[in-house]
A and B are shown apart, each in its own frame.
Chain A
Amino acid sequence: MDLRRAESARRLRTSTALCLIYLVALAGCGGGSRPPEIADRTLVTVWMHSGQEPERNTIVDQVNRFNESQDEVEVSLTVIPEGSYNAQVQAAALSNDLPDLLDFDGPFLYNYVWQGHLLPIDDLLPEEIRNDLLPSILKQGSYRGNRYSIGTFDSGLCLYANQSLLAEVGARIPQTIDDAWTVEEFDSLLEALAKKDQDHAVLDLKVNYTGEWYCYAFSPVVQSAGGDLIERNTYQKAKGSLDSPEAIEAMKHIQAWFQKGYVDPNLDDRSFIDGRVALSWSGHWDYNRYHENIGDDLVLIPLPDFGEGSKTGMGSWNWSITAKAQHPEAAMKFLEFLLEPDEVLAMANANGAVPATRTAIAMSEKYKNDGPLDLFVRQLEKSAVPRPATPAYPVITTVFERAFQQIRHGADVQETLSDAAREIDQDISDNQGYRNLR
């Protein structure tokens, strides 16, 4: 999850329109054929989303390095615009034109598996790599007992704080995840900060973002209180989790922050760097910008503890081998290359995200033990919650976003959450519980 993710989720909605057109256009076409080998080397076709420029340059370099480093596998890379990425994948799946290896935004995994597009990689992934990966990467790549995807980087949330503004009200600065502010402590901190603040707005919740942000950033609140988006044993019911008393209580706190005027609308996305607020609820992607502007006053703090310990989001783009890949082991070779410490680091440096392997983390200036962003690693090891592993996720995130907006604008919390839970349950039963088809 990064800035562009919220952005891309929004663009995705509009561009999925293309998918419908493809549906009609491709219905009559058969599968294309292509030569599996070019002169003794196994050809592996790879799709990647275009991302930001540094990210794009990095993957192109990586492909070149890989192709030069050995003479068994030849990777052929296609970079696809992020806006219509999912639509293109869906269209390619229908026309049987999927590549051997592709990346996609984390929560799409479950839909793709349900549709039968991806290959389990449990037996292909070398054990030493598996042991080196962050637990969060392993968690989010698994669905119904099998492992399907691996990310080379991960994401995380925290509260960025301006130390000197906190010092003015004598706030305690939590050092560890266990040490996070309790929500009561956080409430009174906001109150104290607001008293000293001219317009009383002291907290940035990035309400200028749209789309995926709300589910990513605020479902950890529900989870920290002991609720969840959905019951996670069978993934069949949101009722009882999303509208549990704990979840309602937690969302009431957030509603109160809005009603008391503590939350800056942040239209210009500069409320924190302009010093209008002392606290910014954001992710790893804001660190560089914040650090340039705030300097040594910047401090990273885990999200507040709503009862069951501080929680955070996780997940980003993932790689998967498709079910139609003729040489899965060759595709895995390239994936192994991308997971080599230097390569993981190259990508993490390009996009600022958390490196996926412990070896790479130890080599990273920012993420190494006691580095400035070490908190994100500790959270991914310990307190990060993956988004629900179910093909119902597109509905869950839409419904949760709407519920959040309603709560923000003063709707009754209990009613809103139980309506939301009912809507999710309806979708699950409409889809026969998203039962396994294969």
Chain B
Amino acid sequence: MRKNSIIAVFMALPALTGLTLFVAVPFLIAVFLSFTNLRLGSPLPTEWVGHQQFVRILSDESVLRAILNNVVFAVSVVPIQTALALGLALLANQRLRGVTLFRTAFFMPVVFPMSLVAVVWSLIYAPGVDGALNGLLHQMTLGAWAAKDFLHDPALALPAIILMSIWQGVGLQMLILLAGIQSIPDHLYEAASIDGATAWKQFWHVTLPQLRNTLITTVFITTILAFRLFDQIYILTQGGPNNATTTIMFEAVTSTFRRQQVARGAAITVVFFLMVLGITMVQRRLSQEVVDA
């Protein structure tokens, strides 16, 4: 037993070293910096300012709006994307000719870099009837659709980002869930069909319970990724219009690199870390209850 744990520590060492060097240490530095007034390239001495940065960011309208946007984004993306991924996984699991083609097609957006996806979607969302989406809606409604500037409309910008993010991200969850579905033993389905279970009942009483752990993992990953929302914002909206799409990551990056206020950026990332930590802990608690039930 004792020997085993020594080996375990030894095996974990490379990963632990990486985590310490590239995650723990930078984070501790960020915590330290968030209590100072460090500014990029400032010749003034760096001073200890206590919790001033936190007071400021938590009374800053943009940061509060960013937190709200992140929550709205996560609350809409996580359930929709997971449900959609499950549906796609079920479809992609059918034994049909050319199903690999579908799998590839659904997974493709995940492989594309977000910067490329964002540029493509900026053309889809282009204002006026020249824009792909506007043009489509215009055609479908026989001209009744009034063209909208999706990315610059305070009410539509965040939903537009949500839609494209789901399209881009759904393939990854689909793949994880597909692997989960395929690892469900066939004899469970055979037994169920001998008992006369319909396809719907098989899904409800065999597939879903068997997928529970996979689903929980998927929801975890999607939630964390949802809070890291940045690339599409940076490229498509720059947080606008009127902060409608700003996010915590976007605020942290602009504070640090555009305004050169390193301490403020550090404080935002500390708040961000605590939020994600809190949410993950709540999710863990909830999912354990589901598993135990």
Footprint of B on A, CB under 8 Å? 12-14, 16-17, 19-20, 90, 93, 111, 114-116, 199, 210, 265, 267, 394-395, 398, 402, 405-406, 408-411, 427, 430-432, 437
Residue B122, interface by CB 8 Å: yes
A394 contacts B258, C-beta separation under 8 Å = yes
B152 contacts A16, C-beta separation under 8 Å = no
B43 contacts A116, C-beta separation under 8 Å = yes
Residue B128, interface by CB 8 Å: yes
Contact sample, A vs B, 14 pairs, CB 8 Å cutoff: A13-B254, A13-B258, A14-B253, A17-B257, A20-B262, A265-B128, A394-B258, A398-B254, A398-B258, A405-B240, A408-B152, A410-B241, A411-B242, A430-B39
List, in ascending order, chain B residues with CB within 8 A of A210's CB.
238
List, in ascending order, chain B residues with CB within 8 A of A427's CB.
259, 261
A189 to B37, CA, bound (A): 50
Describe A's contact surface by its main secondary structure.
helix
B259 contacts A395, C-beta separation under 8 Å = yes
List, in ascending order, chain A residues with CB within 8 A of B243's CB.
406
A398 to B239, CA, bound (A): 12
B257 contacts A432, C-beta separation under 8 Å = no
Describe B's contact surface by its main secondary structure.
loop
List, in ascending order, chain A residues with CB within 8 A of B152's CB.
265, 408-409
A232 to B45, CA, bound (A): 26
Say yes or no: A13-B253 contact (C-beta < 8 A), given A395-B259, A409-B242: yes
List, in ascending order, chain A residues with CB within 8 A of B44's CB.
431-432, 437
Say yes or no: A265-B242 contact (C-beta < 8 A), given A13-B253, A13-B257, A20-B262: no
A437 contacts B43, C-beta separation under 8 Å = yes
Say yes or no: A16-B240 contact (C-beta < 8 A), given A265-B127, A265-B128, A267-B122: no
List, in ascending order, chain A residues with CB within 8 A of B253's CB.
13-14
List, in ascending order, chain B residues with CB within 8 A of A16's CB.
40, 256-257, 260
Residues 116-153 of B, flagged 1 when their CB comes within 8 A of A and 0 if not, give: 00000011001110000000000000000000010010
B43 contacts A115, C-beta separation under 8 Å = yes
Footprint of A on B, CB under 8 Å? 37, 39-44, 122-123, 126-128, 149, 152, 154, 238-243, 253-254, 256-262
List, in ascending order, chain A residues with CB within 8 A of B40's CB.
16, 19-20, 90
A82 to B96, CA, bound (A): 52
Q: Report the minimal beta-carbon distance from B131 to chain A, rounded to whole angstroms.
A: 9
Which residue of B has the minimal Cβ distance to A114?
B43
A383 to B261, CA, bound (A): 33
List, in ascending order, chain B residues with CB within 8 A of A431's CB.
39, 42, 44
Central interface residue in B37, B123, B127, B260, by most chain A CB within 10 Å: B260
A267 contacts B254, C-beta separation under 8 Å = no
List, in ascending order, chain B residues with CB within 8 A of A405's CB.
238, 240-242
A90 to B44, CA, bound (A): 15
A393 to B149, CA, bound (A): 32
A16 to B239, CA, bound (A): 20
Top-7 shortest CB links A-B: A409-B241, A13-B257, A16-B257, A405-B240, A398-B258, A13-B258, A409-B242
Say yes or no: A430-B258 contact (C-beta < 8 A), given A116-B43, A406-B240: no
Which residue of A has the minimal Cβ distance to B62?
A402
Q: A115-B41, A398-B259 are in contact. List 17 more A-B contacts (CB 8 A).
A: A12-B257, A13-B257, A14-B257, A16-B40, A16-B256, A16-B260, A93-B41, A265-B126, A265-B149, A405-B238, A405-B240, A406-B243, A408-B241, A409-B241, A409-B242, A427-B259, A437-B44
A409 contacts B154, C-beta separation under 8 Å = yes
A411 to B154, CA, bound (A): 10
A267 contacts B123, C-beta separation under 8 Å = yes
List, in ascending order, chain A residues with CB within 8 A of B241's CB.
405-406, 408-410
A130 to B127, CA, bound (A): 49
Q: Report the minimal beta-carbon distance from B118 to chain A, rounded to whole angstroms.
A: 13
List, in ascending order, chain A residues with CB within 8 A of B149's CB.
265
List, in ascending order, chain B residues with CB within 8 A of A395's CB.
259-261
A402 to B240, CA, bound (A): 8
A12 to B152, CA, bound (A): 25
Q: Report the minimal beta-carbon distance from A273 to chain B, rounded to whole angstroms.
A: 16
List, in ascending order, chain A residues with CB within 8 A of B39's CB.
430-431
